[in-house]
Amino acid sequence: MDKKDKYWQLFLSTFKLSACTFGGGFVIIPLMRERFVKELHWIEEEEMLDLTAIAQSSPGSIAINASILVGYHVAGIPGRASLELTKTAADDNTPVTGAEYGLYAKNAAGETYLMQKVVTNSEGKALFTALKTKAGENEYVVKELNAPQGFVLDTTEYPVTITAKAGTIQLLKVSDARLRGEVVFLKQDQYGKPVSGALFAIYKTESGSFDETTQLSQAASDDHGQVHFTDLELGQTYVIAELSAPQGYEKTDELFEVTVDADGVASALRGQESGLEIHAVINQKHPAPPAPEQPESETPASSAPAAVLPYTGDREFVLALAGGFILIAAGLALTLKKRRHG
Instruction: Calculate the CA 157 to chain-centre distance.
Output: 26
For the chain, first and last CA: distance in Å?
164
Predicted local confidence at residue 90, as pLDDT: 92
Residue 297 has, within 13 A of its CA and on its CB side, a CA count of 4
pTM, two decimals, is: 0.56
Burial of 185: CB neighbours in 10 Å, binned 0-12, 13-18, 19+: buried
Helix (H, G, I), strand (E, B) or coil at 155: coil
Task: Identify the burial level of 158 via C-beta atoms within 10 angstroms of its C-beta, where 0-12 means exposed, 13-18 middle and 19 or more buried.
Answer: middle
CA gap 30, 49 in Å, rounded: 10
Q: Please, are residues 149 and 89 in contact by the beta-carbon 8 Å criterion?
A: no
Of the candidates 101, 31, 118, the residue with the CA atom closest to the CA atom of residue 67: 31
Handedness of CA 244, 245, 248, 254 (dihedral sign): negative
- How far apart, in whole angstroms, are the C-alpha atoms of residue 88 and residue 93? 5
Cβ neighbour number for residue 5 with a 10 Å cutoff? 9
The C-alpha atoms of residue 123 and residue 119 are separated, in whole angstroms, by: 11
Strand order in the sheet with 181-189: 226-232, 181-189, 280-283
The whole-number pLDDT of residue 323 equals 75
One digit per residue, the tens of pLDDT, for the chain of length 342 reads 555 666 777 778 778 877 777 766 677 778 888 877 777 666 667 777 877 788 778 777 766 767 776 776 666 556 578 899 999 999 899 999 999 999 999 887 888 999 999 999 999 999 898 888 888 889 999 999 999 988 999 999 999 999 888 777 899 999 999 998 999 999 999 889 999 999 999 999 876 677 888 899 999 999 999 999 999 988 889 999 999 999 989 898 899 999 998 888 888 899 988 888 888 888 887 766 665 666 665 555 555 555 555 555 556 766 777 777 787 877 777 777 777 765
Q: Which of 48, 47, 138, 139 lies closest to 100 in space, CA to CA?
A: 47
Distance CA 58, CA 87 (A): 33
| pLDDT recorded at residue 25 | 67
For residue 148, the SS3 value is coil
Residue among 61, 71, 70, 76 nearest 25 (CA): 61
Side-chain half-sphere exposure of 140, counting CA atoms within 13 A: 26
One-letter identity of residue 237: T
CA distances in angstroms from 164 to 75, 81, 115, 135, 179, listed in the order given: 14, 7, 19, 12, 35
The residues facing 151 across adjacent strands are 178
